[in-house]
Amino acid sequence: MGKKDAAGKSRSFDLRQLSYFLAVARTGSFAHAAQELGIAQPSLSEQINKLEQALGVTLFERFNRRIEITAPGAMLLPRARSLIEEAAAVPRTSRRIAKVSGGRCEWERFRRSCRISSLRFCTDS
């Protein structure tokens, strides 16, 4: 289970929801984004609603035939893009680590090469 706010609503989100957010922002339409993503439009809307609840902001203003990204949505765009790009790089990074270390995880070498000072793993209990 993810973290909950005072009202008992989930405060967690995932990369899939961020990628859906980016698709809606890019296409300017829930219908076009759903088609591009290969999912049903109601499912996309539900995931965007969950993301908005988790973040505590409205990302898109919904009108009869159009949507507009809100100020918080516009502020989230560059960070969401960055997170998706970073997540896409994980397989390349892990292959590079495996090649350099002969398949063993050598944390110190990886930490120095990526300039990571600390890493904290969080798990839901």
> What CATH number should be reported for the domain holding residue 99?
1.10.10.10
Tokens of 64: 């009869």
Residue 102 belongs to some domain of the structure: yes
How many domains does the structure of the chain reveal?
A: 1
Residue 124 belongs to some domain of the structure: no
User: What sections of 28-70 are H helices per DSSP?
Assistant: 30-37, 41-55
pLDDT tens, residue by residue, 105-124 = 555 565 566 655 554 444 44
Specify the pLDDT at position 40.
Answer: 97
pLDDT tens, residue by residue, 33-87 = 999 999 999 999 999 999 999 999 999 999 988 999 999 999 999 999 999 999 8
Q: Residue 55: how many CA atoms within 13 Å on its side-chain side?
A: 20
Q: How far is CA 29 from CA 48, 77, 90, 111, in A?
A: 12, 16, 30, 41
Residue 120 belongs to some domain of the structure: no
- Predicted TM-score of the model (pTM): 0.70
Residue 71 belongs to some domain of the structure: yes
| Domain region containing 34 | 15-114
What is the sign, positive or negative, of the torsion defined by CA atoms of 87, 92, 95, 96?
A: negative
